[in-house]
Amino acid sequence: METARADIREAVMTAFCAVLRDTRLPPLALIELAAAAVGSVYREVADAHCGDQPCPCGWHPRLQADLEALQTTLALSAAPTPQVDLARMVVLGRA
C-alpha cells in the first residue's frame, strides 16, 4: 500500500509541477483541478463497477460513504503534522 501511495503522489506532484511551470496558474487552482480529476476518476471507476456487467473484483461503490472517506483522507493529508517540541516534553529519566 505504501508503494502505491508513493507512486501516485509522485505522479500527481510531477504533473502539478509541470502544469504550474507551463501555465503559471495559482497553486490552489491547480490543486482544485487535481481534486476534480480524482473525482472524475472515482466516477469512471464506480461506473465500471455497476450495471449489467460489473467488474468481477467485488467492489461496490457507495457514493455517500466513499465521498466521506475521500474528504476525510484529503483533510487528514492536508493538515499540518504537529512538530515535536523538545522543550515541552516531560523528562522521563536522565542520562
Q: Which residue has the cell 523538545?
A: 86
19 in Cβ contact with 34 (< 8 Å): no
**pLDDT confidence of residue 95:** 67
pTM, two decimal places:
0.77
**pLDDT confidence of residue 84:** 77
More confident residue, 92 or 36: 36
Q: What are the distances in angstroms from CA 12 to CA 19, 28, 43, 72, 90?
A: 11, 14, 18, 19, 40
DSSP 24: -
Q: Which residue has the cell 457507495?
A: 62
Q: What are the distances in angstroms from CA 88 to CA 57, 70, 92?
A: 50, 34, 12
